[in-house]
Amino acid sequence: MSKITKEELDSMAKQPKKEDKDWIKVGMSSCGIAAGAEEVFKTLTEEVKKRNIKVAIKKCGCAGMCSVEPLVEVNVEGMPQVTYGKVNKDVAIQILDDHIHSHRLVNDHIYDIQAKKPNG
Amino acid sequence: MDRNIVYIKDTGILQPDRTKDVYAAFLNGLRDRGMQDSVMAVRVADIGAYNQGVVIKVLPDTTYYNVKDADINRIVDSIKEGKAVQGLAARKEPKQLRIVLRNCGVVDPDNIDDYLARDGYQALKKVLFDLKTPEKTIDEIKKSGLRGRGGAGYPTWMKWNFAKQMVSDQKYVICNGDEGDPGAYMDRSVLEGDPYSVVEGMMIAGFSVGATMGYFYIRAEYPLAVDRVQNAIDRCYERGLLGKNILGSNFNFGLEIRLGAGAFVCGEETALIASIEGRRGTPHPRPPYPSVKGLWEKPTVINNVETLANVPYIILKGGDVFARVGTATSKGTKVFALTGKIKNSGLVEVPMGTTIREIVFDVGGGIFNNKAIKAIQTGGPSGGVIPKDFLNTPVDYENLQKLGSIMGSGGMIVMDEDDCMVDIARFYQRFCFEESCGKCSPCRIGTAQMLNTLSKIAEGMGELSDLDNLRRISQAMQKAALCGLGQTAPNPVVSTLRYYQDEYEVHIINKKCPSKKCRNLLSYKIIPEKCKRCSVCMMNCEAKAITGNKDDGYVINMDKCVRCGKCFEVCKFKAVSKE
């Protein structure tokens, strides 16, 4: 691993923050893991590979809504950024089918939608 | 593809849930106008409003509360026209503000590049190359008005300044991640979700006081937090953000983790230091304070996880920006672990000065099962209960103290009408009794005596003089205990006595528990008029206290009854009474 220099930090601060490409984030704090986030993470990773979907599966910490864990946040082009709660294996697959493939939101599991314009 | 998004949710408490009907009606409305491709309607699981009937939200910011069926078409039309329906729409201000949790749930806690992309280490850079001196750094913290989030609320800049002024060949910084309050898990979540912010906060603290070494003291019960912090420390060493000549400056700083072995008292700073030194984790009297004589007798700054997580934000945005949030004496935000009988339990972060009612009802969604709220417990065993009459109190250090509770680390336990205050006091007293380190007698003996007395009351053998005894022991402990934990251990008892003395008296005089919680004071009876003679209660009674048959009905023999409440739970016809 290369050392980080002051100059690198300088250039990072100046650069406009580039939008990440398509990603799915799974909350993997204790609250998420206790609710079954590991299985969701595994399912998503396997299915994305199997179907050859170009989307990064990431993990993150607690987003605050512990009572509706496991939480899965999805950001793909052409769709708003959506946080799904109470996600199990089946819902995870539904997210891939509906949200990512057919561009339809998965009803009844939505806990938050970031009001960003599609393609923005 | 630029589609409008609309969410729909019935937030009413009356059954049945109308979400699906409204959703169908809405879709019909869209189809009638040929808008089904330009508007995406979704049923959401949570819409951020509670008890407001059917709520329809048109992104980005138009919300309709209490929508009637007749309004649906008007709303559909308004979307076509691109403006809100006059008189129907309401704007909703977001109640939460995320400063400490700014990266939690956003960054991958194991990935340093994720953190760097979110302004990571920009604050450290600012400290090393723009502010350049500890004085200026501490000055920013002073301007921010940041106070310790571990509970006592001591101004952070003063702590740092004391340690900075000490002359010593070696100084230390300690991050207190020994979170032991029942119902609190803010620190764990921050360490698990955003370890790099805390690491950066530690480095800035280290630079400010002239320390070259820092320790994370984390509970061993938090293995995931330990893993993630260890990974963060390792990555920082690899990338030259820890070690010698950080970012090419002459600042050297190292970090290590020490595991707490699960004693509540080890969260107290002098006990924590003893524990890191390898001694038994017991407190000693202060002064000298750790900022004068701390770890291995060297000046040491101890800050809570949440305090440190605030530091990079303050440095980067400026102390005065931070100070704009909050109240006159308490600046910034506070993270609460909202638990208990609340609909949306979880981590919430609100500006100081937000009222308890807003936290419980607007952010937390109100009480589970639509019961009535009774009290809020804050501050863990060192805090107290706040009755529902004070729900409109803005949360800050002084206000909570006035009510006989404290901010504490930020546990907030919501209690409803089913919670018995004698039982709550007994629960906390048992915790303190079990966790007392035993070094000083006021705490060791006081907690035991109080627990005995509370048990006696809960079991129906209390006398009125017990209440005076409880008060007397409390006062003795508050005055004479060695450390903060012993001094505050009676707080749950004192505050429940202050607000709910009548409840204690009912336990003592009438031998009844108004909340029907204290087992020994309950009696169960079958109401013959309601009983359908299904025998479910008898089949479920493990103590065989229920006898009878289908013809004569059933009776509970209270001599045999162990008061487990099973018959009360299983009876579908509410034919078992509990008193």
pLDDT at A120 over 60: no
Instruction: Using CB atoms, pick whichever of B105, B108, B109 lies closest to residue A63.
Output: B105
Q: pLDDT tens across B42-67, in order?
A: 887 777 677 777 888 877 677 787 77
State the pLDDT confidence band at B1, using cuts at 50, 70 and 90. very low
pLDDT confidence bin for A110, thresholds 50/70/90? confident
CA distance B265 to B67: 53
Burial tier of B464 (Cβ tally within 10 Å: 0-12, 13-18, 19+): exposed
Q: Nearest-5° angle of CA B393, CA B396, CA B402?
A: 65
Rounded distance between C-alpha atoms, residue B487 and residue B481, angstroms? 5
Residue with tokens 């008292």: B265
In A, which residues are within 8 Å of B189 by CB distance? Answer: 29-31, 61-62
Angle B267-B268-B273 from CA coordinates, rounded to 5°: 90
CA distance B120 to chain A (A): 9
Residue B213 reports pLDDT greater than 70:
yes
pLDDT at A104: 83
Percent of the residues in chain B that have a pLDDT greater than 70, as a whole number: 97
pLDDT, residue B14, reads 63
Q: Show residues of chain B in contact with A78, CB under 8 Å.
A: 1
* pLDDT tens readout for residues B465-475: 999 999 999 99
Q: Is A7 exposed, middle or buried (0-12, 13-18, 19+ CB in 10 A)?
A: exposed
Residue B137 has pLDDT above 80, yes or no: yes
Cα diameter, chain A: 47
CA–CA distance, B80 with B35 (Å, rounded to integer): 8
* Closest listed residue to residue B378, CA positions, set B351, B350, B424, B414: B414
| Whole-number average pLDDT of chain B | 89
The CA radius of gyration of chain B, in Å to the nearest whole number, is: 28
End-to-end CA distance of chain A: 33
CB contact under 8 A, A13 and B119: yes
pLDDT value at residue B87: 67
Collect all residues with Cβ–Cβ distance below 8 Å to B187 and sequence separation of at least 6.
B177, B179, B304, B305, B306, B409
Range from B19-23, B105-109, B420-424, B556-560 carrying the lowest mean pLDDT: B19-23
Who has greater pLDDT, A56 or B54? A56
Q: Tell me which DSSP letter residue B353 carries.
A: T
Give strand pairing partners of B347. Answer: B337
Asked if pLDDT for residue B93 goes beyond 80, the answer is no
CA-based nearest distance A38→chain B, Å: 13
Tell me, what's the pLDDT at B80? 73
Q: What is the pLDDT of residue B338?
A: 92
B508/B499 Cα distance (integer angstroms): 16
Q: Is the pLDDT of residue A19 over 70?
A: no
Of A12, A33, A64, the CB nearest to B116: A12
Looking at residue B96, its pLDDT comes to 84
Residue-wise pLDDT for B325-361, tens only, equals 999 999 999 999 999 999 888 889 999 999 999 999 8
Q: Residue A33 corresponds to which amino acid? A: I
- Among A9, A15, A82, A106, most B C-beta atoms within 10 A, so best to mutate, is A9
Instruction: Output the six-digit token pair for B197.
Output: 């912010």
Q: Cβ contact (<8 Å) for B122 and A118?
A: no
pLDDT of residue A17: 64
Six-digit token string for B96 = 């939460």
Question: Span A26-46, mean pLDDT?
Answer: 92
pLDDT band at A117 (very low <50, low <70, confident <90, very high): very low
pLDDT for residue A118: 38
Nearest CA in chain B to A8: B247
* Mean pLDDT score, B183-194: 91
Strands (E), B235-285: 254-260
Residues of A in contact with B44 (CB under 8 A): 108, 110-111, 113
Q: Distance between CA B70 and CA B544 in Å, rounded?
A: 57
Average pLDDT of the residues of chain A: 84
Measured between CA atoms, the residue of chain A closest to residue B343 is A67
Provide the pLDDT confidence category of residue B150 given band limits of 50, 70 and 90: confident
Encode B421-468 in three state secondary structure: HHHHHHHHHHHHHHHCCCCCHHHHHHHHHHHHHHHHHHCCCCCCHHHH
Residue with tokens 């070259």: B212
CA distance A20 to B494: 53
Cα B97 from Cα B332, distance rounded (Å):
9
Give yes or no for B38 touching A (CB within 8 A): no
CB–CB of B156/B141 below 8 Å? yes
pLDDT at B161 (0 to 100): 95
**Cross-chain Cβ contact B240/A30 below 8 Å:** no
Q: What pTM was estimated for this model as a whole?
A: 0.87
Predicted pLDDT of residue B493: 95
pLDDT of B393 above 50: yes
Strands A110-114 and B346-351: unpaired
Chain B residue with CA closest to A15: the answer is B117
Instruction: Report which of residues B467 and B549 the model is more confident about.
Output: B467
Instruction: Name residue B301's beta-bridge partners.
Output: B173
Is residue B109 within 8 angstroms of chain A, CB to CB? yes
- Considering only CB atoms, which chain A residues are within 8 Å of B108? 25, 58-60
Tell me which chain B residues have a C-beta less than 8 angstroms from the C-beta of A63: 104-106
- Kindly indicate the confidence band of residue B488, based on its pLDDT and cuts at 50, 70 and 90: very high
Query: Cβ distance B124 to B203 under 8 Å?
Result: yes
What sign does the CA torsion over B235, B240, B244, B245 have? Answer: negative
Provide the token pair at A75: 């950001």
**Shortest Cα distance from A41 to chain B (angstroms)?**
13
Which residue in the set B5, B103, B189 is minimally distant from A29, CB to CB?
B189
Instruction: With a cut of 50, say whether residue A93 has pLDDT above it.
Output: yes
What percent of chain B is helix, strand and coil (3-state, nearest 5)? Answer: 45, 20, 40
Q: Residue range A40-68: average pLDDT?
A: 89
CB contacts < 8 A, A to B, total 147
Query: Which pLDDT belongs to residue A16?
Result: 66
Of B33 and B253, which is predicted with more confidence? B253
Contact B300, B174 (CB under 8 A): yes
Write down the pLDDT at residue A18: 62
Mean local confidence (pLDDT), B228-249: 94
CA-nearest of A85, A91, A21, A18 to A53 is A21
**With an 8 Å Cβ cutoff, is B24 touching chain A?**
no
Rounded distance between C-alpha atoms, residue B302 and residue B211, angstroms: 12
Q: Which two tokens stand for residue B241?
A: 């953000």
Q: Is B105 in contact with A62 (Cβ distance < 8 A)? A: yes
Contact across the interface for A71 and B105, Cβ inside 8 Å: yes
Min distance B54 CA to chain A CA atoms (Å): 15
Q: Report whether pLDDT(B539) > 50.
A: yes
